[in-house]
Structure 1
Amino acid sequence: MRTSRGTASAALACLLLLPLSGCQSADDGTQPASGAAGLPSRSDPPAGMDESLRDAALALIDAREEALVDGDREAFLSTVDPDELTFSATQARWFDNLAQLPVTDVSYELGDESVMTQVSGAGDLQLPVDFTMRLDGFDRRPVTQQMVWTFTRDGDDALLADDRNTQIDARTGWTPAPWDLVRIEVRREGGILGIFDEDTEQHADYVMSDLAAASEAVRARLPRWNGRFVAYGIADTSAIDEMSAMTVENTAGVAFPVLAKVGGPVAAYRFAVNPTVVGDVLGRSLVFRHEIVHVAFGASDDRSPTWLVEGIAEYLARTTYPVDERRRISAYALGGAQPRTLEPTRRFYSRDAAANYELAALVCDYVATTRGEDALWSLVRTFQTEDFGMWAATEGVVRRELGSSTRELSRQALAWARAA
């Protein structure tokens, strides 16, 4: 039991003595002792600001880095407050998770202390800590995460009671990775790193095979891409829910950038798939190809209108099917749909998303099949350098590059599909 928590019995004894010793006359010349009855002294530091613990806390930060680098589980967990049972358990799980990953460039550094003005006090001392790591072979640069650690006193030493802070997480937009959430199972095949959990690992071998086939299919269309990526397929959908513009139920997968630090640059592109997709033997390959296209494009289409971004991904995902089959699929899915202007903004995901995906894919397929895929790649490159202030202006770019508005292109594409 730590000293700071071992004063409870003494405090109780003082409280029992109060009726006898605490009612002296105010004019007897005596003053009550500071901190009497175990109450906090006016000189005690506010929660989280006990600077007398600073050196011990900094030493603990160094010890945790050394233990993590050395793979010393016992030393790593010895820095954790054993009274914090939930935190102790999650730290053990987290250490075991990282042991399965190709982690390198690991470090803990004291962070920007000015952020502490945004933090509600807790524990004996709180300090900002920057945690850095890189997935070797998958991240182009190390990834640094801003954290706030909460320390408690253990005699003259410090122990870690928490490493997360809701204010800092909200400020930095932190999204937990699978190894932060659950016990993971890792599979690696060539340039593919698959992350599963106890609910999805039963499908892991088949999923890795499908991911490899999907990667080969995409590389055949985008040969400059190196084919290396990380895919998440766990039962916890909280991260997908946070990142997707649609509901989780309507989201098959999400591709996303991993920033090297808050504000960039990008260290890697990864994707997460809904657990229902992981177990879908028939449908998951199409979803994998779609998301891998997003990973392969990376930031090169981040200034393209949404219809073009999603349309190209879905078109390329379907190119494993013969063109006439793709036309029939689109004609059936779009039914009696009428020509319309394609949605350039994120409203694409909230206003009849299914029809938006289908029509965008059909238009991209029509352009690529009748004019060649270079027409699509040229349009993406143009948007990457084009100077426009509003998404509505993208219509003019399309008209200039392809000679038609998106409404006219959708009319032509629908007629093409229905003629199959």
Structure 2
Amino acid sequence: MRSGARVGIVASLLTALSCAACTLVSDPPPARPAPPEPLSPSQFRDAALDIVERRDAALRGGDRDDFLSTVDDDALQFVATQARWFDNLAAMPVTDVRLAPVGRRATDAAPEDGELRMPVDFTMRLDGYEQRSVTQRLLYTFSEDEGVVALVNDRDAGRDRRAGWIPDPWDLDHVVVRESGSILALFDEDTALYADAVMLDLEASRETVLAAVPDWSGQLVAYDVSDLTGLERRTPMQVFETGGVAYPVPVRPGSDEVAAVRFIVNPDVAHNGLQREFLLRHEVAHVALGTKDAASPTWLVEGAAEYVSRTHYSAEQRRRMAAYVVARLGTAVPALANGVDFYAVPELSYELAAAACTYLAATRGPESLWDLMDAFTAERPRLGQAGPLTAAQVDAVLRREIGLDNAGLARAAAVWAVGGS
């Protein structure tokens, strides 16, 4: 019985295995679906334009997930920087936000090697701090993989270098936003440790400058960040010599129209309590003067800002500051420097410019400085000249407006500083 049972069991197993083998041979695996056909150029372009539209809507609507869904998941670093960029803008008081393809350069864009590059304008305005919007040119790069289009980059290093693009703090790192009245300041995680002290001195500086500069709104935007790219690219001096830089922001790249004047500080100076108040008053003065001094010689631009900064002190204290500089020079009082010469010996140039402008304000009234700036602004159109004025042309304006040339003004300021009259 046992022997027969074994034979029966073996026979049954053989039959089952045989049937299984038959089944495996007779049922081949299902064929893999063919990959989708690559998109035509027009389909690729339409998909890219649709992504720009979606990103615009997501940015304006605050939809972070939809904004990031347009980015290629495999571009891990780009995903991270786009998330940071979105979060920064969400934390800032921005309005008039817009992403828009650039005319026919976008609608006629053609893919090449599986990628399509499309110029896109990014526009925004700092609400409550600036009256005009600012537009930057981005260069979107899209990739296609099996019919799916995604964004893999929004800038091009070579193009940025040729265009002279300088990143803003929100392009570089997570920003910490601080607001106080009409002051907007951006810090990063490291510099935010000093934010309370910086904001207090910004508020005090604003009050000093408001009292000294006519017709200023009091609105200002300042950057105090660890990344020194913006400072290094804008200063005419070495970074270690630079406390801060105020600079005009054009409404769009290459435009002569200015949307605002902002400033960026060197944290090494701004976080030094003894230097900070001098630095901030000076840079806030530049913001308040805006483009009024754009055609003025450098000694008037920097000297007027330094005069405004020093209105924090009494008239006698300001004269003594000038006298200290003159005493160091002895009998040799150089002419007031302009252009690159001004920044070749910055400490001396700043002090002499401050003495000259303080002298004019003390003996002829502060309005003499603003009138002089207006005269320089009017001179180039009067001469039909696009570039900066020559030294002789500057002297001609000075003689006409104040009766002194450059050298005469420097000597008169020295005599006043020492004698007080």
So what's the TM-score if we normalise by structure 2? 0.83
Quick check: 1:319 aligned with 2:311?
yes
1:332 pairs with 304, 324, 336, which one?
324
Counterpart residue type for residue 372 of structure 2: L
Q: Distance in 2 between matches of 1:126 and 1:254?
A: 34
2:156 pairs with 152, 161, 165, which one?
165
Cα deviation, 1:49-101, whole Å, max 9, x if unaligned, reads 95541111111111111111111111111111121111111111111111111
Which residues of 2 match residues 174-253 of structure 1 at below 5 A? 174-253=165-244
In the TM superposition, what is the alpha-carbon distance from 1:169 to its structure 2 partner?
1.9
Alignment-derived partner of residue 124 in structure 1: 115
Quick check: 1:411 aligned with 2:385?
no
Quick check: 1:89 aligned with 2:80?
yes
2:342 pairs with 341, 348, 352, which one?
348
Contact 1:293 1:316 in 2 (8 A): yes
Quick check: 1:142 aligned with 2:162?
no
Q: Does the C-alpha gap of structure 1 residues 176 and 416 become closer, same or farther in structure 2, counting only changes over 3 Å?
A: same
In the TM superposition, what is the alpha-carbon distance from 1:279 to its structure 2 partner?
0.8
In the TM superposition, what is the alpha-carbon distance from 1:326 to its structure 2 partner?
2.3
Alignment-derived partner of residue 287 in structure 1: 279
1:63 pairs with 51, 54, 79, which one?
54
Name the SS of the counterpart of 2:404 in structure 1. coil
Cα deviation, 1:28-49, whole Å, max 9, x if unaligned, reads xxxxxxxxxxxxxxxx99xxx9
In the TM superposition, what is the alpha-carbon distance from 1:274 to its structure 2 partner?
0.7
In the TM superposition, what is the alpha-carbon distance from 1:114 to its structure 2 partner?
4.7
1:363 pairs with 356, 359, 362, which one?
356
Contact 1:183 1:198 in 2 (8 A): yes
Contact 2:185 2:221 in 1 (8 A): yes
In the TM superposition, what is the alpha-carbon distance from 1:391 to its structure 2 partner?
2.4
Which residues of 2 match residues 260-279 of structure 1 at below 5 A? 260-262=251-253, 263-279=255-271
Q: Distance in 2 between matches of 1:119 and 1:174?
A: 25
Quick check: 1:380 aligned with 2:388?
no
Name the SS of the counterpart of 1:145 in structure 2. strand
Bigger shift: 112-121 or 132-141? 112-121
Contact 1:147 1:169 in 2 (8 A): no
Counterpart residue type for residue 399 of structure 1: R
Alignment-derived partner of residue 147 in structure 2: 156
In the TM superposition, what is the alpha-carbon distance from 1:170 to its structure 2 partner?
3.2
Contact 1:257 1:268 in 2 (8 A): yes
Counterpart residue type for residue 268 of structure 1: A
Contact 1:119 1:167 in 2 (8 A): no
In the TM superposition, what is the alpha-carbon distance from 1:353 to its structure 2 partner?
1.5
What fraction of aligned residue pairs are identical, expressed as a percent?
Answer: 46
Alignment-derived partner of residue 108 in structure 1: 99
Alignment-derived partner of residue 391 in structure 1: 390
Q: Does the C-alpha gap of structure 1 residues 409 and 118 become closer, same or farther in structure 2, counting only changes over 3 Å?
A: farther
Alignment-derived partner of residue 298 in structure 1: 290
So what's the TM-score if we normalise by structure 1? 0.83
Q: What's the RMSD between the two structures over aligned residues?
A: 2.4
Name the SS of the counterpart of 1:80 in structure 2. coil
Name the SS of the counterpart of 1:168 in structure 2. helix
Contact 1:344 1:391 in 2 (8 A): no
Q: Distance in 1 between matches of 2:123 and 2:111?
A: 24
Q: Distance in 1 between matches of 2:197 and 2:114?
A: 47
Name the SS of the counterpart of 2:274 in structure 1. coil
In the TM superposition, what is the alpha-carbon distance from 1:122 to its structure 2 partner?
7.4
Contact 2:98 2:122 in 1 (8 A): yes
Q: Distance in 2 between matches of 1:214 and 1:84?
A: 45
Name the SS of the counterpart of 2:226 in structure 1. coil
Structure 1: which 5+ residue stretches go unaligned?
1-43
Alignment-derived partner of residue 14 in structure 2: none
Name the SS of the counterpart of 2:317 in structure 1. helix
Q: Distance in 2 between matches of 1:220 and 1:88?
A: 47
Cα deviation, 1:217-254, whole Å, max 9, x if unaligned, reads 00001241010011000011111111111111111111
Bigger shift: 62-71 or 380-389? 380-389
Cα deviation, 1:174-196, whole Å, max 9, x if unaligned, reads 22110001110000000000000
In the TM superposition, what is the alpha-carbon distance from 1:341 to its structure 2 partner?
2.1
Q: Distance in 1 between matches of 2:124 and 2:359?
A: 44
Q: Distance in 2 between matches of 1:118 and 1:139?
A: 34
In the TM superposition, what is the alpha-carbon distance from 1:117 to its structure 2 partner?
12
Q: Distance in 2 between matches of 1:273 and 1:199?
A: 14
Name the SS of the counterpart of 1:300 in structure 2. coil
Contact 1:118 1:168 in 2 (8 A): no
Structure 2: which 5+ residue stretches go unaligned?
1-37
Name the SS of the counterpart of 1:301 in structure 2. coil
Q: Distance in 2 between matches of 1:283 and 1:201?
A: 18
Counterpart residue type for residue 226 of structure 1: S
